[in-house]
Chain A
């Protein structure tokens, strides 16, 4: 017989987080909690798409189990689910059993990175050209196996930086922004170069005074704070008195 603390029971996390499936999940979990247990296993193997509903179910399960002095262990969570829990500061609330294999395969990612060509793009700063440049960058990051949430952050950073240049750098139609992207073992570096007037984004703070902005009916002016908050490191340099070079680093993983 297993010691009491090893007694485990499993409930399935539904593939689709509909109101009906949530009710079923809650009923199954409550039924398991009627039996003394220190760990409730939540089987995540059927998950193909993660929504806020799934996170809500896991959050509810964690609270319900804590009320019954039990912990929640996730079985076969995908790397994507773990990343989202981590990004939402919820990861530490759960124990984790075996992690589902990454469909891409860890080794494949590194092999792919080693063979990935350097990414360089020059684009004018019209709205449509910026959109197209972002699409190309996103395609490159996805090809490299960069996680969705990191791609989303880098897409937002690229949009905000390029739009800032479009609005304030007063570039001629023939002038372009150069974007270089380098994907290393642990970080992604984006380097933007433009020939507009000197603009040191790092001189602006990360502060967003959301209590003052609505009072002043202020709609703009925190794109720089957004860039700084989404980045792990930002460096600005003025080269040859004629070029702004903005370097942004975003950490994405540790090489095993």
Chain B
């Protein structure tokens, strides 16, 4: 199994799910940036990132999400992190990003957030 693979799945109109591999570091941070940017270009407003199997995130991995979230929010959407493990949450907390990022417990809550955060056209 590729530890760095990032997969994509459409959940519903305007909402896409990206699943990280076990690692998000310098080796695949650019792929995460590409995946988020491509999703946005494909008219997905909400990008949900499933971190359930993520074991390690480096500064480059955090930077890939942090550097793209502004663009997504500017267009009325958001990046939602969910299934975040205790250790990954610890890193986000150390970096003071726990409040800045939208973090949900599980996919159901993340999807619900996409529904309530969506503004009528």
Interface segment among A111-119, A175-183, A194-202, A218-226: the answer is: A218-226
Question: CB within 8 Å of A: which of B49-86?
Answer: 56, 58-60, 62-64, 66-71, 73, 84-86
State whether the Cβ of A43 lies closer than 8 Å to any Cβ in chain B.
no
Contact of B84 among A52, A148, A215 (CB under 8 A): A52
Contact A214 B68 (CB under 8 A): yes
A121 CB to nearest B CB, Å: 19
Chain B residues lying within 8 Å of A55, measured Cβ to Cβ, are: 86
B85-117 contacts to A, CB under 8 A, are 85-87, 89-91, 93-97, 100, 105
Contact A155 B56 (CB under 8 A): yes
Report how far A87 CA is from B56 CA in the complex, Å: 18
Interface string of A204-237 (1 = CB under 8 A from B): 0000101101110111111101100110000000
Q: Which of A5-13, A93-101, A156-164, A243-251 contacts its partner?
A: A156-164
Is B31's beta carbon under 8 Å from chain A?
no
* Alpha-carbon separation in the docked complex, A88 to B100 (Å): 17
User: For the complex, what is the distance from the CA of A215 to the CA of B69, rounded to whole Å?
Assistant: 9
A160 to B63, CA, bound (A): 13
B87–A222 contact, CB under 8 A? no
A135 to B56, CA, bound (A): 13
| Contact across chains for A223 and B58 when beta carbons are under 8 A apart | yes
Known pairs A152-B87, A214-B66, A214-B71; A220 contacts B95 (CB<8 A): no
Give the residues in chain B near A219, CB-CB below 8 Å.
29, 33, 60, 63-64, 66-68
Instruction: Tell me the minimal C-beta distance from B97 to chain A in angstroms.
Output: 6
Most interface-central of A55, A213, A219, A222 (chain B CB within 10 A): A219
B contact residues around A160 at 8 Å (CB): 58-59
Interface residues on chain B, number (Cβ under 8 Å): 33
Q: Decide if A230 touches B67 in the complex (CB within 8 Å).
A: no
Is B26 positioned at the interface, with any CB of A under 8 Å from its CB? Answer: yes
Tell me, rounded to whole Å, the shortest Cβ–Cβ distance linking A236 to chain B.
18
Residues of A within 8 A of B33 (CB): 219
B93 neighbours in A (Cβ, 8 Å): 88
- Minimum Cβ distance to chain A for residue B118 (Å): 21
Chain B residue contacts of A132, Cβ below 8 A? none
Does any Cβ of B come within 8 Å of A146's Cβ? no
A152 to B91, CA, bound (A): 10
- With A222-B95, A226-B94, A229-B95 known as contacts, the answer to whether A159 contacts B58 (CB < 8 A) is yes
A residues with CB within 8 A of B: 50-52, 55-56, 84, 87-88, 127, 148-149, 152, 155-156, 159-160, 163, 167, 208, 210-211, 213-215, 217-223, 225-226, 229-230
Besides the contacts A156-B58, A160-B59, A219-B29, what 5 more A-B pairs have beta carbons closer than 8 Å?
A156-B91, A208-B97, A210-B97, A211-B100, A226-B62
